[in-house]
Amino acid sequence: MTVNKRIVSGMRPTGPLHLGHYFGVLDSWVELAKDHECFFFVADWHALTTEYAEPQKVKGFVPSLVTDWVAAGLDPAKVVMFQQSQVKEHAELHLLLSMITPVGWLERNPTYKDVRDQLDGTKDLSTYGFLGYPVLMASDILIYKPTRVPVGHDQLPHLELTREIARRANHLWGEIFPEPEAKLTKASKLPGLDGRKMSKSYGNAIALGEDLAGVRKRITPMLTCVKRARLKDPGEPNECNLYPYHLLFTDPQKCEEIAVSCREASIGCGECKKIMADNLCAFLEPFQQRRAELDKNPDLAWDILRDGNERARVAARATIEELREKLNFNF
């Protein structure tokens, strides 16, 4: 393996991972790990920007996230997996970068207003920490000087801010941070069961750890194609909410057969769902077995994190030392 590029990315531990995370983010992490040096972390401080009133909720999701990563195929011997709050250098860089980040940049950040307004009434997000979310994210990234950052579309404004903060730091304090490039992860290939974006809060997601009998029950009423009100109405797989699931879980030849049968109305949606449910369960089952195997050792995730935290700290400390040097704050 020739490693010439370093990447950094994080996930917030706010809930169990679902298929939308798997096909979109996690699969691209596994792919990138083949030829990049990777730092993947659990962004627990970021989770606290919205979950500050119930911090105990965050802890439970920390090890389960790491176990999901390993079950999905990330190798802790190759990839550095760590926990943000245990590499305190991120907080020091966050403080220093906050000195040079104009408040206006943060107030203009579209995700800031969107999320604050979305959660209005349930959570008070008019906090200093939530406004500074992108500064903390910039610190997470810049501290490792990566070349690329795999993120979803929703995170692009944050990455642009990271680049602006890097430019400002370089200008004020001397060249230190290379500007990282966004590596856009494909939009999740899977819609939710009801056709909207798959999301835990919409109740339309299938969790990776979901009980298989329950998965089958939830597939039965799922939305398919509006063209097929009756069995004899021909359908159109490209306009069907179920077909993207087939494309991921059913072999290509069978997908082709199903598409033909759907267009000539010789297969019903019920049967089509049943085939898909079988294949989806055949995908989830080995994943869940790997997870169950990993869960037999309750220390595993914490051991992986302990080792990863140490490796991340070495890299993070080097950047902090360099910056303190530039600022003449190396007392």
The least distance separating ligand TRP from the CB of residue 154, rounded to whole angstroms, comes to 7
The least distance separating ligand TRP from the CB of residue 152, rounded to whole angstroms, comes to 7
Sheet holding 181-184, edge to edge: 80-83, 37-42, 6-11, 148-151, 181-184
Nearer to ligand TRP among residue 144 and residue 243 (C-beta): 144
Nearer to ligand TRP among residue 151 and residue 275 (C-beta): 151
Nearer to ligand TRP among residue 6 and residue 246 (C-beta): 6
The least distance separating ligand TRP from the CB of residue 247, rounded to whole angstroms, comes to 25
The least distance separating ligand TRP from the CB of residue 142, rounded to whole angstroms, comes to 10
Residues β-bridged to residue 10: 41
The candidate with the shortest Cα–Cα distance to 39, out of 48, 29, 53, 31, is: 29
Nearer to ligand TRP among residue 125 and residue 151 (C-beta): 151
The three state secondary structure string of 6-50 is EEEEEECCCCCCEHHHHHHHHHHHHHHCCCCEEEEEECHHHHHHH
**Close Cβ partners of 17 (under 8 Å, ≥ 6 residues apart):** 26, 65, 68, 207, 208
Dist CA 195 CA 243 (whole Å): 11
The least distance separating ligand TRP from the CB of residue 187, rounded to whole angstroms, comes to 14
The least distance separating ligand TRP from the CB of residue 144, rounded to whole angstroms, comes to 9
Nearer to ligand TRP among residue 14 and residue 279 (C-beta): 14
CA distances from 109 to 63, 67, 88, 218 (A): 31, 33, 26, 37
Nearer to ligand TRP among residue 157 and residue 195 (C-beta): 157
Helix (H/G/I), strand (E/B), else coil: 197: strand
Dist CA 94 CA 98 (whole Å): 6
Residues that bind ligand TRP (CB under 6 A): 8-10, 12, 43, 46, 137, 140-141, 149, 151, 155
